[in-house]
Amino acid sequence: MRLIIMGPPGAGKGTQAAVLAGAIGVTHISTGDIFRLNVSNATPLGVQAKAFMDAGEYVPDDLTNSMVRDRLSKSDCGAGFLLDGYPRTLEQVGELDSMLEGAGGCVDKVVELIVDVDEVVNRLVKRSADQGRSDDGEGVIRRRLEVYFEATAPLTELYEKRGLLVRVSGMGAVEDVSGRVLEALGVNA
Ligand code: B4P
């Protein structure tokens, strides 16, 4: 199964992707986690990505696409994967399509987590207090939400037109959200 999970910052993509990938038996690929690992190891990619992330902006498409292309070529993606946080722009959708076509495949389902804006802000403010992530300050959160609604939210319509989109409420307890997503995907966990 080749899955994508989408939703605004703080919707719980990373939280749910970890649960779902385990339940379904596919590899979880979080572009945010890969960038953060590169930032903490001060790799050339991390050095380039950090300024964008700290400002609440997207990392440029060319850097992001080549990172994902490399990750999807690894053998652990052969049985399927769950992309968390990618694609986020129209250009990334086109790149992903060409990567998968090249391997004779396509995306099977796209899950969109729907969460109130007030709730995502509360979650990110709480995460900022708990973890001190450099992109969770209040001004940066606001910018990340703007970028999401401008660049990424419209992509869900594209996947809806392709008949791949399932919309699931991301409100409530983590396990309740996981149950709803698995049910929407027709997976018995
Ligand atoms: P991400 O790592 O994808 O960050 P996110 O959108 O904040 O996280 P997510 O929605 O996964 O929230 P989470 O589960 O953690 O991206 C970070 C940055 O990387 C981007 O801003 C960008 O700069 C860059 N980037 C990544 N991908 C890119 C791409 N494709 N192109 C360009 N740039 C890219 O949940 C948030 C919090 O809520 C957590 O503290 C969690 O514990 C809590 N939570 C989750 N579910 C909950 C629930 N049901 N109830 C209460 N709390 C909950």
Q: How does pLDDT run across 107-165, given as a tens digit for each residue?
A: 999 999 999 999 999 999 999 999 988 888 888 999 999 999 999 999 999 999 999 99
Residue 36 designated active-site:
no
Has residue 105 got a pLDDT over 90?
no
**Which residues are within 8 A (CB) of 70 and not within 5 positions of it... i.e. 6 or more apart?**
none
Name which of 36, 34, 153, 14 is nearest 82 in CA terms.
Answer: 14
Tell whether omega for the bond before 60 is within 30 degrees of 0, i.e. cis.
no
Q: Give the Å distances, CA to CA, from 54 to 12, 48, 82, 103, 112.
A: 19, 11, 25, 34, 25
Q: Which residue CA neighbors atom 46 of ligand 1 most closely?
A: 12
Name which of 93, 39, 32 is nearest 65 in CA terms.
Answer: 93
For the stretch 16-60, pLDDT in tens is 999 999 999 999 999 999 999 999 999 999 999 999 999 999 999
Q: Which residue CA neighbors atom 16 of ligand 1 most closely?
A: 32
Instruction: Give pTM, 2 decimals.
Output: 0.94
Which residues surround ligand 1 with Cβ inside 6 Å?
Answer: 7, 9-15, 30-32, 35, 52-53, 58-59, 64, 85-86, 88, 92, 123, 127, 135, 144, 173-174, 177
Which of the following is catalytic: 71, 133, 143, 167? 133
Asked if residues 136 and 125 have their Cβ atoms less than 8 Å apart, the reply is: yes
List of domains in the chain: 2-184 (3.40.50.300)
For the stretch 64-83, pLDDT in tens is 999 999 999 999 998 899 99
Atom of ligand 1 nearest to the CA of 35: 19
CA of 176 to the centre of ligand 1 (A): 18
Asked if residues 104 and 159 have their Cβ atoms less than 8 Å apart, the reply is: no
Has residue 189 got a pLDDT over 70?
no
